[in-house]
Amino acid sequence: MKKVTETIGIDVSKLTLDVYVRTTKVHKQFSNDLKGFKQIISWTIKQKINLEETLFCFEHTGWYCILLSYFLFENKYRYCCINAIEIKRSMGLKRGKSDKADAWEIANYAWLRREELIPSVPPAKKLIELQRMMSLREQLVKQLTASKNLYKGMQEIVIDELNDVSLGILKENMSKLEKQILTTEKSINELIKTDETMINNYKLSKTVKGVVIER
């Protein structure tokens, strides 16, 4: 890796980013959005930190860190998105002490391994979109299954199925969910077709069984 003279640890949560500069031991919290990302850069520049020789480091937190990853990569700031288990095993990081302490641990982890760490590259945006739609489909399928099970259970104790309000609502809900699932699957298939590599990426990222790829 290119020379690293500074490491900055970031503890990522849904709404906030706790940032810790290793050498100056300065900590500050920012919002986990584009405004917060820009403020982090301005904040570090004011501290006269050479960003060309700085490595940002944070744990992989799924959706919560993806926008930060894109921001750093697209603006050519080096960063490493590390599996939380790896940091815990290496440093004995104990979650829950405080966000500031966690950010310090991450910054220290990056500093000790600065020679061996390889800067991260975020996944293709189309792949992220695919994973997002697959996640949505998974939730819709779970809701449909739950509604079907509830419907079957109610059928056992209902005398007049045709006029029962509860069964009617469930039928309407199941019909709506089935349409939403079909719409989501159609979008998934259309997205896959926009890129020659998407089918392979789709197979690698697939987490939900039963999604059919149209060819």
DSSP for the chain, please give it.
-----EEEEEEE-SSEEEEEETTTTEEEEEESSHHHHHHHHHHHHHTT--GGGEEEEEE--THHHHHHHHHHHHTT--EEEE-HHHHHHHH---TTS-HHHHHHHHHHHHHHTTTT-----PPPHHHHHHHHHHHHHHHHHHHHHHHHHHHHHHHTT-S-TTT-HHHHHHHHHHHHHHHHHHHHHHHHHHHHTT-TTHHHHHHHH--STTPPPP-
pLDDT at 161: 79
Mean pLDDT of 94-98: 62
How much is the mean pLDDT over the chain? 87
> Domain residue spans in the chain?
6-112, 125-205
Mean pLDDT of 74-89: 90
For the cut 90, the answer to whether the pLDDT of residue 94 exceeds it is: no
pLDDT at 58: 96
For the cut 90, the answer to whether the pLDDT of residue 206 exceeds it is: no
pLDDT at 163: 85
pLDDT digits 0-9 by tens, 157-201? 887 878 889 999 999 999 999 999 999 999 888 888 877 666 665
pLDDT at 8: 97
For the cut 50, the answer to whether the pLDDT of residue 211 exceeds it is: no
For the cut 60, the answer to whether the pLDDT of residue 209 exceeds it is: no
pLDDT at 208: 41
pLDDT at 156: 85
Q: Give percent of the chain above pLDDT 70.
A: 87
For the cut 50, the answer to whether the pLDDT of residue 214 exceeds it is: no
Q: In this predicted model, which residue has the larger pLDDT, 47 or 210?
A: 47
Q: What pTM did the predictor assign?
A: 0.70
Q: 6-112 — its CATH code?
A: 3.30.420.10
For the cut 50, the answer to whether the pLDDT of residue 134 exceeds it is: yes
